[in-house]
Amino acid sequence: MDDMTNFGNTAEARDIRHHFHGYTNARRHMDVGPMIIEDGEGIYVTDTSGKRYIEGLAGLWSVGVGFKERRLIEAATRQLEKLPFYHNFGHKSHGPAIDLAEKLVGIAPVPMSKVFYTNSGSEANDTVLKMVWYRSNALGKPEKKKVIARTRGYHGVTIAAASLTGLPYNHRSFDLPLDRVLHTTCPHYWKEGRDGESEEQFATRCAEDLEALIQREGPDTVAAFWAEPVMGAGGVVVPPKGYFDKIQAVLAKYDILFVADEVICGFGRTGEMFGSTTYGIRPDVMVMSKQITSSYVPFSAILMNERFFAPIADESDRISTFGHGYTAGGHPLGAAVALENLAIIQENDLVGNAREVGAHFRARLETLKSSPLVGEVRGVGLIAAVELVEDKQAKSVTTPGRLGTMMNAAMHRNGLISRNMTDTVAFCPPMIITRQQADDMFEIVAKSLAELE
């Protein structure tokens, strides 16, 4: 409590007193206190002391069109004034949900059939897993219920989504993962590749690992495979050359569905509208959130093909209803904002901007490889990461997270908010970022790194 008195009765003290933060050391927060952001404009946010930062992670890989975008504010206001809420249970519907479903099917990279609405990335993945099970029962294959995700993959935090996630903090002390959820090799060539193994050979080994796991578990028991086109929260892992082709060949052999988690990659981040396009993925199901509304409103959507949908529809007919749905699923406010957000992305070619400014920013990051502390620079489109190491040869650190935390703190001091995952420092700025702003961001990264050397 001493530390709290240091903050008096400020917003910081009140935050410590009553606000339990996600993804935070809950005890340490009482000593450290919050960083309170009170304003945002374009790619910048400002804290309560008036200090301005570049939001180098677009919030949480989220705010594609930037902060305070008038068109989104106006679209939200128009919708609130007309119909602030309605649902989609029992055959009810409303215009924004219909328009958005049509729009999503229209821009999908492969033929898709239906959209189911949820409220967060976690809920969407959780829902897809339930649908996978429901579908297997519908097909008279009750044994086909196991699913395979990847070590270091991130799919959220509900019981099912956290099980799909392949990161230790999401399992430890939560009694997870569920035993129907398995994990296969993380496709991070720099880290997992063996001496003398080419990128292509490594991709082959990843596919062989997947096939071996399917064989061990029994091919008739595996229903679906889950992957982010580019792993985000697991450390911005860009797949090795040929990886998804090889993986999809294995899935096709055993009649296993592909669920593409596009929660970060979707809507332009990789320099194409979807990460699935960038990597030639032909998903049966796509999970979308975050940048779908630029996170102005909590919202998520599941896009599925007819092969996935049809057995589920048949089963709902047989047992009289599909017993799943969310009060706020397809919320008119979220759907209206999503439609306007997608219009902004398309009209202003933010996908092209992500490709061009992203390439420029990554080329500048590449120059940091001469630093003794930089092991790898990786990325695609406007998502990138710098991997910090103490021993470049051994690709190792003695205290995991030390360098990453120091780098993050230095960038904060120098006016850039980003995020370190252990010793990976990630960059994922709003997609409206200009070349000049990307240069400003790079200068802060370079300066902060120099302070660590």
Binding residues for ligand PLP (CB under 6 A): 60, 120-122, 125, 154-156, 228, 232-233, 261, 263-264, 289
> DSSP labels for 33-91?
----EEEEEBTEEEETTS-EEEETTIIIII-TT-BT-HHHHHHHHHHHHH-S----GGG
Which residues lie below 8 Å from residue 306, measured CB to CB, with a gap of 6+? 111, 113, 114
- CB of residue 232 vs ligand PLP: minimum separation in angstroms? 5
Token representation of residue 35: 């960083």
Which of residues 337 and 410 has its CB atom nearest to ligand PLP in the complex? 337
CB neighbourhood size of 359 (10 A)? 16
Token representation of residue 347: 């009209």
Which of residues 153 and 415 has its CB atom nearest to ligand PLP in the complex? 153
At which residue do the structure tokens 């669920």 appear?
259
Which of residues 382 and 410 has its CB atom nearest to ligand PLP in the complex? 382
- CB of residue 247 vs ligand PLP: minimum separation in angstroms? 17
- CB of residue 37 vs ligand PLP: minimum separation in angstroms? 18
- End-to-end alpha carbon distance in the chain: 37
- CB of residue 119 vs ligand PLP: minimum separation in angstroms? 8
Residue nearest to ligand PLP (CB): 121
Which of residues 42 and 156 has its CB atom nearest to ligand PLP in the complex? 156
Which of residues 211 and 228 has its CB atom nearest to ligand PLP in the complex? 228
Q: Are 263 and 302 in contact (CB under 8 A)?
A: no
- CB of residue 156 vs ligand PLP: minimum separation in angstroms? 3
- CB of residue 429 vs ligand PLP: minimum separation in angstroms? 16
What are residue 445's phi and psi, to 5 degrees? -60, -50
Please, which residues bridge with residue 181 across strands?
Answer: 147
Paired sense of beta strands 44-47 and 37-41, if any:
antiparallel
Which of residues 256 and 264 has its CB atom nearest to ligand PLP in the complex? 264
